[in-house]
Amino acid sequence: MKKIHLLPGHHHWNRFDPEDTRPFKDKAEAKPETEKLLKQLDDLQYRLYAEGKRALLIVLQGMDTSGKDGTIRHVMSGVSPQGCRVTAFKVPTPEERAHDFLWRIHRAVPPAGSIGIFNRSLYEDVLVTRVHGEISDEEAKHRFHRINEFEKLLVKSGTTILKFYLGISKHEQRKRLENRLNDPQKRWKLSLADIAERKFWDRYQKYYAEAIKATSTRHAPWYLIPANHKWYRNHLVAHVIVKTLRSMDPQYPPAAQGIANRKIRIP
């Protein structure tokens, strides 16, 4: 397998290139290796489910049209729904606003044996809230600390955490928004709010950089995924997930005592 050019953590933010596809030249070259990864993911997820002792939490963040839905649809295409759950976090409801910002997040953490995927996440509460001036910089620092402590608790409780920032360029986002606008089958995904948020692009970039720097830890690392090319985005995410599950090495539980020597009698 070719060496994959990954950008884990926050140290490479200023050198991050959404157009990057290293070490592949094009989609055709990456396809065989991506297919191998997806098959391995299916096997590893089944073993994790059978073991039933640990969980994997995958956090997907990114600007509008960065491909959170597409990543889930393609990378998790062969995974059994029985051992995988997806939670999409939208604008908090009145009930959710009446609690601390982590309340709705903790309720969605995957149980042992499962892979949980957050389509947007607790990080919305240190991104959107800052872009629109709903919380101060000081409150954001407090929330970073609480996020780190929360993720540390999850890890100590048996949940491995992977956080992906799907990075696209401003030009690529414009192309994707226009594509949705002009395609009747995709227009339903577009809202006026999506277009309005585009004018805050620079603020989002600033606050994403700060959030990733403050919360990329050894126990819950961020991976910066170049996402202008969807096939490359999917390959990198699959690569990291498979590598992580391999290191977890989930095992099938032992068979029930005495079952190995039993024979099935056909009447």
Which tokens hold the place of 3? 């060496």
Spatial CB neighbours of 207, under 8 Å, sequence gap ≥ 6: 126, 127, 130, 131
- The answer on pLDDT for 164 being more than 80 is yes
User: What's the CATH number of domain 7-171+203-248, 3.40.50.300, 3.40.1390.30, 3.40.50.12780, 3.30.360.10?
Assistant: 3.40.50.300
* Predicted confidence band of residue 146 (pLDDT cuts 50, 70, 90): very high
CB-CB contact of 58 with 162 (8 Å): yes
* Predicted confidence band of residue 12 (pLDDT cuts 50, 70, 90): low
pLDDT of residue 139: 97
Residue at 157: amino acid letter: S
Sheet of strand 55-62: strand arrangement: 7-8, 222-226, 159-167, 55-62, 115-119, 84-88
pLDDT (tens digit, 9 = 90+) per residue, 15-74? Answer: 789 999 999 999 999 999 999 999 999 999 999 999 999 999 999 999 999 999 999 999
pLDDT (tens digit, 9 = 90+) per residue, 110-136? Answer: 999 999 999 999 999 999 999 999 999
pLDDT of residue 10: 39
pLDDT of residue 3: 53
Determine the Cα–Cα distance for residues 198 and 80; give it in Å rounded to an integer: 36
- The answer on pLDDT for 266 being more than 80 is no
pLDDT of residue 16: 86
- The answer on pLDDT for 11 being more than 50 is no
Q: What is the mean pLDDT of residues 193-216?
A: 93
* Predicted confidence band of residue 2 (pLDDT cuts 50, 70, 90): low
Residue of 9, 36, 6 lying closest to 23 (CA atoms)? 6
pLDDT of residue 267: 65
List the chain domain ranges. 7-171+203-248
Q: What is the mean pLDDT of the chain?
A: 92
